Amino acid sequence: MAEVYIGLGSNLGDRLENIKNALSQLTLLPKTALIGISSVYESDPKYKEDQGKFFNAVAEVKTELDPILLLMKLKNIEEQLGRNFNTERNGPRVIDLDIEFYDDLVMSTDNLEIPHPRLYERLFVLKPMVQLDKNYKCSKTGKTVYALLHECMDSSKVEKVVDLNIASLKS
Determine whether 128 is exposed, middle or buried from the number of CB atoms within 10 Å of its CB (0-12, 13-18, 19+). buried
The candidate with the shortest Cα–Cα distance to 25, out of 69, 76, 68, 64, is 76
Q: Which amino acid is at 35?
A: I
Determine whether 117 is exposed, middle or buried from the number of CB atoms within 10 Å of its CB (0-12, 13-18, 19+). exposed
| Residue 147 in domain | no
The model carries a pTM of: 0.95
| Residue 139 in domain | no
58-95 tens-digit pLDDT:
999 999 999 999 999 999 999 999 887 777 777 788 99
Q: Which letter does DSSP use for residue 147 in this model? A: H
| Bridge partner list, 59 | 6, 37
Q: What's the pLDDT at 60?
A: 97
What CATH code is carried by the domain that includes residue 35?
3.30.70.560
Its domain, for residue 68, covers: 2-118+158-163
Q: Are 107 and 96 in contact (CB under 8 A)?
A: no
Q: What's the pLDDT at 82?
A: 86
| Residue 58 in domain | yes
Count: domains in the chain = 1
| Residue 140 in domain | no
Residue 171 has pLDDT above 60, yes or no: no
Q: What's the pLDDT at 58?
A: 98
Share of the chain above pLDDT 70, in %: 98
| Residue 142 in domain | no
For the chain, the average pLDDT equals 93
| Residue 138 in domain | no
| Residue 39 in domain | yes
| Residue 141 in domain | no
